[in-house]
Chain A
Amino acid sequence: AQTVTQSQPEMSVQEAETVTLSCTYDTSESDYYLFWYKQPPSRQMILVIRQEAYKQQNATENRFSVNFQKAAKSFSLKISDSQLGDAAMYFCAYRCALGGSEKLVFGKGTKLTVNP
């Protein structure tokens, strides 16, 4: 079964510091996409970063980067120079393309608090 596990229900970081959010997943597919989404209290799900499984190079987007370990099925998100606006729920997700449909399978999320 395709599953995504986020083992940290809550994390906190000081403003300007670095924090890493963990994610592991399970899939039988060989080619897939992984995502980190941010969901602030406004509820809008915002894409933070995307990783294609066939790419060995870790994706980066400004202050956000991932550590993608395909063999270990691990996909962690590093936020550098944390800002107050980074406070939100963060969801790790995997795109499942089995059975003819394309769907995102989400983890339960990590609530990130940024302390001034």
Chain B
Amino acid sequence: DAGVTQSPTHLIKTRGQHVTLRCSPISGHKSVSWYQQVLGQGPQFIFQYYEKEERGRGNFPDRFSARQFPNYSSELNVNALLLGDSALYLCASSTGLAGPWEQFFGPGTRLTVL
């Protein structure tokens, strides 16, 4: 089975632009989470979606938004890009069901804001 996939792999934008990042979870996984990893730091939680509804949001400004589609794939949108938004954006999926819990990560999208 395919793992978590993300697109694009790399992206270069300029300040003030908008960006959309995409994620496809592992088949059968209903929960998708987004993390931001700034160089030299651990990942920081941005959003969790489960069954197309937002379950949690980290300490990020309203410029960050996300949604989950009926096929459980997800998009992360960032408006009015700032230099500080340059980071690796990781998507992770999990079953969302009770039992042993684990999040599986995608390879990430490297966003550079110039």
Does B101 contact A45, Cβ atoms closer than 8 Å?
Answer: no
Q: How far is the CA of A38 from the CA of B29 in the complex (A)?
A: 22
Residues of A within 8 A of B58 (CB): 103
Residues of B within 8 A of A42 (CB): 107
Complex interface bits, A97-116 against B, C-beta within 8 A gives 1, otherwise 0: 00111111111110000000
- Partner of B108 from the list A43, A50, A52 (CB cut-off 8 Å) is A43
The chain B residue with its CB closest to the CB of A45 is B105
Q: How far is the CA of A42 from the CA of B101 in the complex (A)?
A: 25
Q: How far is the CA of A46 from the CA of B44 in the complex (A)?
A: 16
Which bracket fits the contact residues of A?
Answer: 20 to 34
Please judge, given known A-B contacts A33-B101, A95-B101, whether A105 and B45 are in contact too, CB under 8 Å. yes
In the assembled complex, A16 has its CB within 8 A of some CB on chain B: no
- Partner of A104 from the list B40, B103, B108 (CB cut-off 8 Å) is B103
Q: How far is the CA of A43 from the CA of B110 in the complex (A)?
A: 10
Residues of A within 8 A of B101 (CB): 33, 95, 102
Does A91 contact B108, Cβ atoms closer than 8 Å?
Answer: no
Residues of B within 8 A of A35 (CB): 102
Judged by DSSP, the binding face of B is: strand
Q: How far is the CA of A38 from the CA of B91 in the complex (A)?
A: 16
Interface residues in chain B, defined as those with a beta carbon under 8 Å from any beta carbon in chain A = 31, 33, 35, 40-45, 48, 55-58, 88, 90, 92, 94, 100-108, 110
- Partner of B48 from the list A33, A44, A52, A101 (CB cut-off 8 Å) is A101
Q: How far is the CA of A93 from the CA of B104 in the complex (A)?
A: 13
Does A99 contact B56, Cβ atoms closer than 8 Å?
Answer: yes
- Partner of A100 from the list B31, B43, B56, B100 (CB cut-off 8 Å) is B56
User: Contacts A101-B57, A102-B48 given; 18 further ones with Cβ under 8 A?
Assistant: A33-B101, A44-B105, A44-B107, A46-B105, A50-B102, A91-B42, A91-B43, A99-B56, A102-B31, A102-B33, A102-B55, A102-B94, A103-B56, A104-B35, A106-B43, A107-B42, A108-B40, A109-B42
